Amino acid sequence: MSAENRIVLSTSSVYPEATASGFELAARLGYDGVEVMIGIDPVASDIDRVEALRDFHEVPVTSIHAPTLLVTQSTWGTDPWDKLRRSGEAAKRLGADVVVVHPPFRWQLGYGRGFIAGIDKLNQQFAPIKFCVENMYPWRTKLGKFMAYLPHWDPTDLPHEYLTLDLSHASTAHKSSREYVRDWGRRLQHVHFTDGSGSFKDEHLLPGEGNQEAYALLDDLVATGYTGQVVLEVNSRRAGNRATREALLGQVLIDMRHRLGQQVDETTTRHTEAALELVATSAPEELGHDPAGAIGDDWRDG
């Protein structure tokens, strides 16, 4: 397996558990790295603590998700360019390859007007770290579609050098992720592996549960020679407890490795099977429940 073909766990995939749990489960299950969602909890915003988690669990930080979501607008201040510069510095310090960036919101007029040129400048300044702009979607309301992003929610026709493909966002936009893979070509540098049913909500389903042909898309990545990260970014809140979450995240990792032609580590299989057995043999009250989350349920711009 090439060091560039890493299967990575986003810390948002363990919510409502905390960033520390993301590192713990990534190491326990055998993921190749962690993508840190800045702002999901106070730990994620403290790079000293993130570095300590990386070193303690001996799992690399491979990517940083900049705090540009609706729910992280106050993280690291309110200046969007300062947020991105700090994300770049965090990536550099932690040894990450990628910073994931959402397009500006429509009300961020000055930021939006300078976004394309500004991202290009950041890519030059922080190279070889790549600032990868993520596909989003139009917000749908009872009054119709609301174009919430500038310059646009779909980066296909914009001159960004590096792009992040999010399968759930594609589904919400009623687009095909596999067509994005074909259309973007070498511009595709990062993948958020998930799924969606086409709902107006950004669902982040488990791969295979929606309409994006998620596992067939992995075949497309192999066929096109894609060498970037494949990051599992899913909503696992329905798991309800640690054992069920561990079983779900472990099984997806096994399925991804098989589909990408990678060897499944024996520790991955062992911990996944142990979690599945615990879920099957324990009463719900014995498994416990997730702790209260640090943020609300609305990850529609995630």
The CA distance from 16 to 203, in Å, is 15
- CATH no. of 7-287: 3.20.20.150
Lowest mean pLDDT among 216-230, 249-263, 271-285: 271-285
CA distance readout (Å), 282 to 29, 236, 240, 274: 21, 19, 13, 12
For 119-174, how does the pLDDT look when each residue is reduced to its tens digit (9 = 90+)?
999 999 999 999 999 999 998 776 667 788 999 999 999 999 999 999 999 999 99
d(CA 56, CA 30): 15
User: Crossing angle, helix 214-224 and helix 177-184, to 10 degrees?
Assistant: 10
Q: How far apart are CA 134 and CA 165, in angstroms?
A: 6
Tell me the two tokens of residue 256.
Answer: 């991804």
Question: Which contiguous run of DSSP H or E holds residue 281?
Answer: helix 266-281
Using alpha carbons, select from 170, 117, 57, 234 the residue that is nearest to residue 49: 57
**How far is the C-alpha of 8 from the C-alpha of 92, rounded, in Å?**
18
pTM summary value: 0.93
What's residue 282's pLDDT? 82
- How far apart are the C-alpha atoms of 154 and 93, rounded to whole Å? 30
